[in-house]
Amino acid sequence: MESTDVAFWSMVGTGISAVATAVGVIVAICTLFSWRKQYIETLKDNFISSLVNYSTSLTYLPKKIDQTSSAAIASCAYISERFHICQKEWTLLERTMSKSKKYSEYISKWRGELHDFIDVHNKYIYGECEKELLKKFTQEMYQRKRE
């Protein structure tokens, strides 16, 4: 084998190595930027799941909270615990989505709904509305979040 043959095959090997490295870098970059979308979907699923759990938990509560009853205080603690889980899941989702400009529209729309959710939850806790209104609100909210 002559030195020109060795140089030629060395050049071919180096070229193949360069192409493989470039493909590896492209795959790494795509992976680096795709994790956030997957993570946001997971957080969104967790938030929706917390809404469903909250709504399901309402089934076991009285139609309307009577603040003079000791059972009502236990009911308030029970549903408030579920409510705080919803808030925690929303906070994680909002914090992650806020790092990307493409989600700003979703954040502002969902933030408004979350404030409405807080209002309706508080009205139920203070006996100002019945649980069916709260359950309907959470189910509608759940349906919109799935879209």
| Residue 56 clears pLDDT 80, i.e. is over it | yes
57-91 pLDDT per residue, tens: 888 888 888 877 777 778 888 888 999 999 999 88
Spatial separation of the C-alpha atoms in residues 90 and 107, rounded to whole Å: 10
Q: Exposure of 144 by Cβ count < 10 A (0-12 exposed, 13-18 middle, 19+ buried)? A: exposed
Neighbours of 36 (CB within 10 A): 14
pTM: 0.71
CA dihedral 53, 56, 60, 61 (to 10 degrees): 80
How far is residue 142 from each of residues 17, 52, 129, measured CA to CA in Å?
51, 7, 20
pLDDT(47) > 80: yes
Residue 105 pLDDT exceeds 80: no
Q: Does residue 99 carry a pLDDT above 80?
A: no
Tokens of 13: 């090997």
Average of per-residue pLDDT across 26-34: 83
**Mean pLDDT on 112-133:** 87
Contact between residue 132 and residue 55 where contact means Cβ atoms under 8 Å apart: no
The answer to whether 121 touches 83, Cβ cutoff 8 Å, is: yes
Closest CA to 57 of 78, 29, 28: 78
For helices 104-125 and 70-97, give the axis angle rounded to 10 degrees: 170
Does 45 score more than 70 pLDDT? yes
**DSSP designation for 64:** S
